[in-house]
Structure 1
């Protein structure tokens, strides 16, 4: 059971690591890359972007794109975390399956408790 828990935790971590959002700015000249943790992992500026905008406009363009990408990453995270296929079976169901399984019952399922 502990091994199963470790595998599920690893699969969940990998699923979260695959979440990446890239939402362009209103003009499409700035594209940030934001991960599920809300971290900026990349920023693309189209050629001529810095020449087209003054510093305040460029900052607004970048921040707008980052905010939209962050919201998209959060949305992807919520969808991924609420996927019913990833939910572990209830403890009662695990116990029923264990009791119904053929073979010796000397070893009870280990639910992750140390020393038992």
Structure 2
């Protein structure tokens, strides 16, 4: 059971790590890549962006894009983690089936439930 819990946790962590968002700034000239924790992974500035804006305006463009991207990544996370089709079978159900029909040396099947 401990191994299965660890496996489930690692699977959830991998799914979460794959989530990134890229939302453009209001002008469309700045596109950040942000993870679910709001960490900036990459930043695209269109050619001429630094010449077009002053330092405060450029900072505001970048921060607006990062804020929108972070919110989008968190929405994606919420949808992904609450997707019923990706949830593994409940432990109680698996163990009940295993005990009811089981050979003592066989391992319980913790896979996704069959529908």
Normalising by structure 1, what TM-score?
Answer: 0.81
The answer for the alignment partner of 1:13 in structure 2 is: 13
Measure, in 1, the Cα distance between the counterparts of 2:36 and 2:58: 25
- Higher RCO by CA contacts (8 Å cutoff, separation 6 or greater): 1
Task: Point out the more displaced range, 61-70 or 7-16.
Answer: 7-16
The answer for the alignment partner of 1:96 in structure 2 is: 96
Q: Following TM superposition, by how much is the alpha carbon of 1:89 offset from its aligned partner in structure 2, in angstroms?
A: 2.8
- Structure 1: give runs of 5+ residues left out of the alignment: 110-116
Q: Following TM superposition, by how much is the alpha carbon of 1:36 offset from its aligned partner in structure 2, in angstroms?
A: 1.3
Contact (CA 8 Å) 2:38, 2:66: kept in 1 or not? no
1:49 aligns with 2:15: no
Deviations 1:43-81 (A, max 9, x none): 111110010011121111111101100000000110111
Matches within 5 A, 1:31-110: 31-104=31-104
Measure, in 1, the Cα distance between the counterparts of 2:34 and 2:51: 25
- Structure 2: give runs of 5+ residues left out of the alignment: 109-115
Measure, in 2, the Cα distance between the counterparts of 1:57 and 1:41: 21
Normalising by structure 2, what TM-score?
Answer: 0.82
Rg comparison, structure with higher value: 1
The answer for the alignment partner of 2:113 in structure 1 is: none
RMSD between superposed Cα atoms in Å: 2.1
